[in-house]
Chain A
Amino acid sequence: MTTKATFRIWRGTKEGGEFQDFPTEVTEGMVVLDAVHKVQAEQAGDLACRWNCKAGKCGSCSAEVNGMPKLMCMTRLSDLDLSKPVTIEPVQTFPVIRDLVTDVSWNYEVKKRIKPFKPRKPDFEDGTWRMHQEDVDRVQEYRKCIECYLCQDVCHVLRDHKKHDEFIGPRFFTYVAALEMHPLDTEDRVEELREANGIGYCNITKCCTVVCPEHIKITDNAIIPLKERVVDRFFDPVKILFRKLFGK
């Protein structure tokens, strides 16, 4: 069963570009990424897009479909209104390289600035530790992240206010949370959270949670607990008094 649909795909480079319409035959069960591949094979051999696993596990094919940040491989055409052109454009938070491919290198740079995992000494002489499942459940939730950066794309602090120099974005708060709440970790990242990471900019609008394809509760389970740690450390009046009295 085939029907016609039109894909309005943004094509261009950082110098500029425009939407181009590609009328395409589509079949039952197709996802947006299939349509892009079909356009590539039949009409625009050099249409640039990233993809890998095609199963929502690698986080490569992020784009904005009808204005919504989505993994193209997990967006079924049957969930879209095909009577109108389907717009596909690159994520907006990062500079475009070509067509649907953007320069996400900023994310890799940000990660390098976060203090890496530093475990406590092993619990046993054979170099092993003991951890209980209930103590790692939360950390495992953060570690489901596939680094698709859709949360970075939708976050207004980055998208609209361009605070890339002062704010690490939801992805890396989730990353810091995974490290801070790792039962074995001994590093302290609270001061950076407040200063270099700019956690105060987040005003918990929860857009990141809405777009997360892994259904991680980024705001509730990662950002808010980290904000609480910052508040405890720096804004607790009893602790401030204690520090003043004892110079600690």
Chain B
Amino acid sequence: MSDYQTHEHDVLVIGAGGAGLRAAIEAAKDGQSVGLVCKSLLGKAHTVMAEGGMAAAMANVDDRDGWETHFADTMRGGQYVNNWRMAELHAQEAPARVRELEAWGAVFDRTKDGRILQRNFGGHRYPRLAHVGDRTGLEMIRTLQDHGIPQGIDVYMEHTVVDLLKDGDRVSGAFGYDREKGRFRVFKAKAIVLATGGIGRAYKVTSNSWEYTGDGHALAYDAGAELTDMAYVQFHPTGMVWPPSVAGILVTEGVRGEGGILKNNEGRRFMFDDVPDLYKHQTASDPEEGWRYVTGDKSACRPPELLTRDHVARCIVREVKEGRGSPHGGVFLDIAWIREKLSDSEAHIKKKLPSMYHQFKELAGIDITKEPMEVGPTVHYVMGGIFVDGDSQMSTVPGLFAAGECAAGLHGANRLGGNSLSDLVVFGKRAGEYAAKYARENGDVRVDEAEVEAAAAAALAPFDRDGESPYAVQGDLKEMMQELVGIVRRQDELEQAVERLQELKVRAAKTKCDVNREYNPGWHTALDLKNLLVVSEAIARSAEVRKESRGGHFRDDYPAKDEKFGKVRHVITKGADGSMQLEERALPAIPEPLKKIIEENQKA
């Protein structure tokens, strides 16, 4: 018999970023007893990293905006494979969620007449992002935390969940450990909300923190839920590439929006060399016109640096592959050049891009007002995830809900900047509301002792094994994913990746760690590997069958979009024998009224 403590709640929320906190608040408001489990300290979740803002059609800056346009923009950005119901609800409800944050104490930047200011961003037709300088995510998480804690939510900080428990078909709780002492915990719950974020740690170069090991994806998968759209991983074109310590950290799109240009080591502005036909009429024909655009000339077209994220990222990869990269394997992003145009360029850059100025100054020793930056693509976001019902956010397992990055659907094949923060609060609220309702309407659950025992034994296994270090396996996995399932994909490489994953699974099952349960990152890494391997395999397999290029998924051997694949999604489930199953399903048709909205916006 293992030793463990049991905590009982009506609703258990796993993950305390924007989505988890918002879900917990909503469930607590319903009068349910709520437990909130998070791997880090409260308030440190990855949401703090979000810079740009949260998209909501409040029409404070441009009164032509409305939910219909936001909906159409989101669908276009997602290449029309989004869950249309989620895109609709998101566009309709985001403004109320922003106003609610203000009522809870958030202090957004203001318009001249004292309302919430909104800024422009890629793919959004009108200025739509409510923001606080370039630290909007911090504002959101702190507001939710400070509003939520007094509601009587029980927070289990620095606790990791390693398994979900079930009572028949329903979820009945979660099994995990506290990081401090390594003591086991059982959280018994009538409903569970997964809000665990993304999968970036499966890759070598990522803007994501250590927490992003695909926990929610893997927990849901093991519990029998469906994952969907896992091929769609967003590579942000501009991450830092040097120094190594900061490789992957985001360089905001705002640099290019302010006139930053991309150059290769020959000094050539290579983005002009490859403009997709579809965008030719909307793209500047020469550098002069590009400059006029970024300085507000409405008759000019945007410079090619502001083409979609997926395209810019691929052009950078091409330059590097063909030997025209910067010394540390990226390309040059130059904002300093605007001194040719502006006499006060230094002050201008510092005022418009304060955090980028400091980030490069402090971490790379580079003054961006004087020298170019080195940048390259970085794994940023996963559009795929746990398949949920658009209204309730319930997965295919009764009582198991998901919200935020770990849930799939809203963003389709490619996410627009600014749509993730609004996603967190719109669907965090919905998940909390429906989880509370589920807990209210369904009876008590039983926790199966045998299931707990098995989970405990598995969690302790790394102490008794005699294999290699979990850090070594994690390192090899990241290298492999970066190389074979990266930004440009090919049939033979994807097949090779699936094979290599089988070898890595064998190695991971043998990893050992120091015998010490107290705050032992070696042990934690050994346990996280299981989740990373599940999501890596799901991505590789989904990418392998999607023989087309769409949004975040680009195939060198199938570089065009294929209409046939635009009508399907790929579903990943765990088979009875424990092996990963993949199935193709038809996407539901978009209802006529919404189709009309899309068409009208395409015309305009």
Contact = CB atoms under 8 A, between A and B. Distances in A.
B53 to A, nearest CB: 14
Contacts of B149: 108, 111-112
Given A46-B520, A130-B115, A182-B105, A54 B246 contact: yes
A129 interface: yes
A98 to B, nearest CB: 4
Interface stretch (B66-74, B237-245, B528-536, B586-594): B237-245
Interface stretch (A139-147, A188-196, A230-238): A139-147
A119 B105 contact: yes
B209 interface: yes
B4 interface: no
B146 interface: yes
Interface in A37-70: 40-41, 45-60
Interface string B122-152: 0000000000110100110010001101100
Given A55-B246, A58-B44, A60-B44, A45 B147 contact: no
A133 B105 CA distance: 15
B105 A117 contact: yes
B209 A48 contact: no
Contact of A146 (B109, B138, B365): B138
A219 B44 CA distance: 25
Given A29-B244, A60-B44, A140-B107, A40 B521 contact: yes
B503 interface: no
A147 B138 CA distance: 11
Interface of A: 13, 27-31, 33-34, 40-41, 45-60, 74, 76, 78, 97-99, 101, 104-105, 108, 111-112, 116-117, 119, 122, 127-133, 136, 139-140, 143-144, 146-147, 179, 182, 185
A28 B471 contact: no
Contact of A57 (B41, B49, B102): B49
Contacts of B516: 46
Interface of B: 40-46, 48-49, 99, 102-105, 107, 109-110, 113-115, 132-133, 135, 138-139, 142, 146-147, 149-150, 157, 180, 209-211, 242-246, 249, 359, 362-365, 469-471, 475, 513-514, 516, 518-523
B132 A140 contact: yes
A111 B146 contact: yes
Nearest to B362: A74
A101 to B, nearest CB: 5
B138 A57 contact: yes
Contact of A29 (B44, B132, B364): B364
Contact of B147 (A52, A59, A117): A117
Contact of A144 (B135, B359, B365): B135
Contact of B46 (A28, A53, A98): A53
13 contacts: A29-B246, A29-B364, A45-B470, A45-B471, A50-B41, A53-B48, A54-B245, A57-B138, A59-B44, A74-B363, A101-B180, A117-B104, A130-B113
A156 to B, nearest CB: 24
B49 A55 contact: yes
A41 B471 contact: yes
Contacts of B469: 41, 45
Contact of B363 (A59, A76, A129, A139): A76
A50 B513 contact: no
Nearest to B245: A34
Contacts of B157: 105, 108
Contacts of A55: 49, 246, 249, 359, 363
A136 B114 CA distance: 10
B48 to A, nearest CB: 5
B142 A143 contact: yes
A52 B359 contact: no
A97 B244 contact: no
A132 B110 contact: yes
B242 A104 contact: no
A101 B519 contact: yes
A128 B135 CA distance: 22
Contact of A143 (B49, B107, B520): B107
- Listed from nearest, the 3 A-B pairs whose CB atoms lie closest are A29-B243, A130-B114, A45-B522
A122 B99 CA distance: 11
A46 B147 contact: no
B246 to A, nearest CB: 7
Given A45-B471, A60-B44, 8 more contacts: A29-B243, A33-B245, A57-B138, A59-B44, A104-B41, A140-B133, A143-B139, A146-B138
B110 A131 contact: yes
B110 A147 contact: no
B107 A119 contact: no
Given A60-B40, A117-B146, A54 B523 contact: no
Contact of A46 (B249, B475, B522): B522
Given A40-B471, A116-B146, A147 B43 contact: yes
Nearest to A149: B41
A58 B114 CA distance: 29
A202 B210 CA distance: 37
Contact of A53 (B180, B209, B518, B523): B209
A45 B514 contact: yes
A128 B95 CA distance: 11
B114 A131 contact: yes
- Which of A30, A34, A131, A182 has most chain B Cβ within 10 Å? A131
A99 B513 contact: no
A173 B522 CA distance: 38
Contacts of B142: 143
B103 A127 contact: yes
B395 to A, nearest CB: 27
A216 B572 CA distance: 48
A51 B99 contact: no
B239 to A, nearest CB: 11
A119 B246 CA distance: 40
A101 B49 CA distance: 22
Contacts of B110: 131-133, 136
Contacts of B363: 29, 31, 55, 74, 76
A122 B41 CA distance: 33
A41 B472 CA distance: 8
Contacts of B113: 130
B245 A31 contact: yes
A108 B135 CA distance: 22
A54 B209 contact: yes
A129 B106 CA distance: 12
Contacts of A101: 180, 519
A119 B103 contact: yes
A99 B245 CA distance: 22
B49 A48 contact: no
A192 to B, nearest CB: 15
A65 B483 CA distance: 36
